[in-house]
Amino acid sequence: MGRHQHAESAGLMSFLCCALIGGIAMTLYLQLAPAIWQVSRRLFTVSSGIVAACGVVSFIVAYAGKSRSLKGRSSWLIVTRRIIEILALSVVYASTLFLVTFMVLGVINELMGRSFISYIAALCAGFAGVSGYVTFVQASLMDAKTIASLLPFFVVSGVSTAGLTSDDPYWYNNNFSQLGDRTTFAAQMFNSTLMLAGICIVIISYFSISELVTTYRMRRLWPDGHAPGHTENISHFKVRIGCLAALLTLSGIAFVGVGLFRYTPHPIIHNIFARGLPGIMTVLLVGLPWIAPQLSRAMYLVSDLAIVVCAGAGIEWLRADNTLTNVEALAGLLFLGWFIVFSRQIAAIEADRIQTQLLHHQTDNALPAIASSAPRPESRTEPTAAQSSGNDTPARNDELEPKPSANR
């Protein structure tokens, strides 16, 4: 079996194992847990935790299984780096699966009512199986595009769940900071979503920066114009890549700061992160052509359009024609959308790099084979008159006939 078929087959086995474990775990919880821990929201929390745990274990098994650095004799630095990657990605998957499952269970509960409790064990088994299948397949075929695809589901699920379960029905009239400026379950979920989203941005940025550095090194090794991305020489590459890494990391830290420091107890710190985030985004999107010249011109156009749209929404808010909540929601969604497109651009560069490496590898292997199979030219010399006696071929007639004398 090939790589993709093997990943799908192993994913199906992961689906069966996770579904069985999830169903048994939720059934035991319903039978053994006290009544106070079987109210709807706590049931959703436990069920979401079981689904997230199954998905994370499946991801770790698949990701560690395909890693060569954990199997072979690698240095401790490489092994430590791989372990940190596994832990960081596990946080991304765990938070995403937990919030998505919690949101879906809440929606189904609103539709079915009290009868929903009798189906929660079966739903937990089904969600656990799906999470095990998805995480195993994605871990086997991991790239930046795969990781970035999780971010919108994670953020939208967390913010939507927090907004629907908030005890303040008028938070939308002010801003998103009011949604998280409480100690309730909804506020804690909103703040946790922002903090985990910032961590996800930092993790995805790490993979993206690593790919750009790898592609640049490959282009220096093969200066023949076949390397993906920007084919010309990139001056001040370390400065550019350092600026890109710093801006992406600062944007992730700003998300973490907004969720970590609520407005009421920490108004100054909260405003520093909340108002500093648009400035970081503006510098990143405006300076993208210089910071990352490997990207396409369409990416630069999308970045400029995002800046123009956000500026227009901000002007409407200053004129009291729009609410700050709408401006924040628009800016946040545009940044997340831009970040997904950015990650897909990096994934495309990675795919082109791998294809180029395969072509160079095939070419390097084909040249020695062609050289060894080519016929070698033999050196042939014309036989002299003294050597012609030992030759079996008859001599020409003009050589056998006597030459006429000059006196005749």
SS3 call for 254: helix
pLDDT digits 0-9 by tens, 95-153: 888 888 888 888 888 888 777 788 889 999 999 999 999 999 888 877 656 666 677 77
* Predicted pLDDT of residue 128: 94
Q: Residue 226 corresponds to which amino acid? A: H
* Predicted pLDDT of residue 39: 79
Alpha helices (runs of H) in 113-236, residue ranges in sequence order: 120-140, 144-148, 150-165, 176-180, 185-221
Phi-psi region of 379 (alpha: psi -120 to 50; beta: other; left: phi over 0): beta
* Predicted pLDDT of residue 400: 43
- Nearest 5°: the CA angle 390, 396, 401 is 105
All residues at 6 or more sequence positions from 68 whose CB lies less than 8 Å from its CB, including other chains: 74
All residues at 6 or more sequence positions from 228 whose CB lies less than 8 Å from its CB, including other chains: 215, 348, 349, 352, 353, 356
Query: 40-66 vs 76-112: helix axis angle to the nearest 10?
Result: 150
Please state the separation of Cα 254 from the chain's center in Å. Answer: 20
For the chain, what are the domain ranges? 1-142, 147-360
* Predicted pLDDT of residue 385: 47
Torsion of CA 65, 68, 70, 72, to 10 degrees: 130
* Predicted pLDDT of residue 53: 94
**Ordered per-residue pLDDT tens for the chain, 408 residues:** 667 788 888 889 999 999 999 999 999 999 998 888 887 778 888 999 999 999 999 999 888 877 666 666 667 777 787 787 788 788 878 888 888 888 888 888 888 877 778 888 999 999 999 999 999 988 887 765 666 667 777 777 778 777 777 777 777 777 777 788 777 777 888 888 888 888 888 888 888 888 888 888 887 776 554 555 554 567 788 889 999 999 999 999 998 998 888 888 888 998 898 888 888 989 999 999 898 888 888 989 999 999 999 899 889 888 888 788 888 888 888 888 888 888 888 888 887 887 877 877 777 666 565 556 555 555 444 455 444 444 444 444 444 444 444 443
pLDDT digits 0-9 by tens, 253-283: 998 998 888 888 888 998 898 888 888 989 9
